[in-house]
Each structure stands twice: as C-alpha cells, then as structure tokens.
Amino acid sequence: MHKTILTIIFFTLSFINFSKANFDVKARTAILQDYHSGEILFEKDADRKIFPASMTKIMTSIIAFDLIKSGELSLNDKFIVSENAWRLSQSGYSSMFIMVGDEISVENLLKGIIISSGNDACIALAEGIAGTEEEFAFLMTEKAKEIGMENTNFSNSSGINAPDNLSTVRDIMIMSRYLIKNYPKFYEYFKETEFTWERTGGDPITQGNRNPLLYKNLNADGIKTGYLSYEKYSLASSINRNGRRLIAVGSGFTSKNSRSKESTKLLTYGLTNFDLVNIAKANEPFHKVDVWLGKENTVNTYLKEDLYKTIKKAKKKLLKVSVIYDGPVEAPIKKDQKIATLKVVYDQELVGEYDLLSFKEIKKVNFFTRLIRSINYLIWGDV
C-alpha cells in the first residue's frame, strides 16, 4: 500500500482573506455573506450591539415554522386575538389591524408578520403558541443560542420598545441563513409584495411589503426591514441570481432612501467583485479511488455536503484541490465509509479538508482470486 496524492482540479483563482479595499457603506454596522460558501465578503463593526427592531420578526416566524415542521402547529390552526395584541393595531405601529376576539389562522398571522410587519400579529401568534409573549421570547432566545447567535437576546416578538431586545448584524445574518436553508418553501412568503387581510367588521386591508429591494431589478427575495428612532433604519436582505445567493444585513442607515441605496450597493459589491465555485455537489459521485482485492477495482467517493468556495475576481492565485488516500483501499469497503480526504490548498496553505466517503459497498473477492492477485502483485507489482 502507498499514499496516493492525486491532484484532480486546478483553479486559477483568488481565495480567502478578502480585503475591504476602499469599499464602504453608510451604515453603523453591516455584513455581507456568500450564502453557499458561507464566506464573509464584507463586514463593518459586525459584532456591535444593535436593537434589531422588526428584524426580530424573522425569529418569530422561525419559531412557528419549527412547530409546523414538527407537527405541533398547522397553518390552518386559529388563535383568538387578545386585547394585548389588539392594542398594537393602533395608529403609529406597523399593524395587521386585527380586532379583539378575532380568530385568525396561523398562515394569515405569519403573512401579517412577514409582509405587513404587523406587531399585533406577532403578539397574537406568540400568545397562541406560548401563552404569553414573555414565554415566547424565551423560546426565541433559546433558538438563537441553538443556531449559533452568540450575542442575541430576544425580549419580545416584534422588536419594538424593548431595551434588552439586542442582537448584532452577524447574528441576524446567521438567523437569516438558517431561515433560507431550513425553510425554503416558507421563505417564499418573504418575497410577496403585498398581503390582503380580510378583516372582521370592515373592508379588506391590503398592505405592501416594506422591503424596498423587492421593487428593484436585483432578484431580491427577502428578508426584513426594521426601524426604531434610536437605532434608525435597518435591513436584512437577500438576492438570488443565477443560483448565486448573497445575504446582507445593515443597521444604522440614516433614512429609508439610504437603507435602500446602501443595501443595494453592498449586494452589488458582492456580485461584481466575487465569483462562486462549486467544487463538489453533496451525495453525488466525486472521484474514483483504486480498490485492492475487491469485486470492483475502483469505487466512487462523495461528500455529504455541497462544497463551495468564493473567489475574488481582481486578484488571481492558484487554488489546488487534491484527493489523498492510502491506496489502493483494501476491500471489503462499507457504503459511507471514509476512504479518502479532499484537501483544498491556496498558495501552499491548507484552507479546507473534507472527508470523502465510499459511494457504495465493495465486497472482497474469494480466497482463490485473492491468492492469484497477491501472487501477481509480488511478481509484477500489479494490483
């Protein structure tokens, strides 16, 4: 047996260590991520504490989506509106305009939260799920910890008037990525530009989505705006263009116009300065390795997850991807057994290492065949 190092892919590309250069956005804090690779393309004071305002509603929705997925909640379930929820249906608040005693479906409440940004809908959903908004906020914070939001505390379901409802743009980005990855079907609510609420005792109310990027030619499909007088304007946004998705979060924009303009600038920067390379697709044959004493002489390998890397267009260097294994690999080989390692090297520095698994089972040949092959190997060095 011998160690096999087979370089199978060469890219002339730039990789990692992305520089801000002279680029900046007019926000107190901001971050930009390439969704598929997970790499950060730009950040500005990304761990600074912020009041997430209505971006809080992303987590409010996630809690409901989790319960729907587990079967504990249904889109058709109905909750009764309390006076506590109704009080936020008044002028001066983003509202769905629900009434005390209304029975509203979970689906309508979610659309009221996501599209209309209804604070009243948030409380109605929170109370319907957890009994009180305080208990619901506890669920939100626990979920935040679970998915890696290390600097977040949620104290209500809407994000309004809560000095200890705190997060960072990095954490909001983590939350947004979780939403898109785990709930692609429900995420489609976030790109809807209007919602009509067939309210009780009055004419239907139609409200538009407050996300300004949905109305631009950017292929934006989410996520959520925010505003508080002491935080100013914020936006978690995402675009999906030709299979390339970017997530941006910014807070401390000085105006609605600035929020729209600077968020567009940030996303455009990611599109125009970087490319995405798909090295391997999850659960698809990647590369064959040699097998010793097996009923087949080779076996395909695969990765459990997609492998993407983001590259910078302006500075091209050598990116080398190699399969390394002690080979040929002796049979028997189990399906899903680790049999090789995929190494990603940039400028002679290891930047990624991934397990390559056997795509199928390979059984060992019988004793007589093993004997013949062993003799051939001893005499001729032929495996």
Q: Residues 44, 57, 309, 312: which is the catalytic one?
A: 57
- Helices in 131-196 by DSSP H: which ranges? 133-146, 169-182, 184-187
Residue 35 DSSP symbol: T
Beta bridge partners, 32, equal 42, 248
Q: Residues 54, 61, 157, 238: which is the catalytic one?
A: 54
167 labelled catalytic:
no
117 labelled catalytic:
yes
Burial track 12-26 (b if 16+ CB lie within 10 A, e otherwise): ebbbbebeeeeeebb
Q: Residues 61, 82, 116, 117: which is the catalytic one?
A: 117
Residue among 19, 180, 200 nearest 98 (CA): 200
Q: How many CA atoms lie within 13 A of 112 on its CB side?
A: 28
Neighbours of 325 (CB within 10 A): 21
Q: Compute the distance between CA of residue 95 and CA of residue 80 in angstroms, rounded to an integer.
A: 16
Long-range contacts, stretch 185-192, CB < 8 angstroms, 24+ apart: 186/61, 186/65, 186/68, 186/110, 187/221, 187/222, 188/221, 189/61, 189/110, 189/111, 189/114, 189/115, 190/114, 190/221, 190/222, 190/223, 190/224, 191/220, 191/221, 191/222, 192/111, 192/114, 192/115
Q: ω before 333 within 30° of 0 (cis)? A: no
Q: Which residues does the annotation mark as catalytic?
A: 54, 57, 117
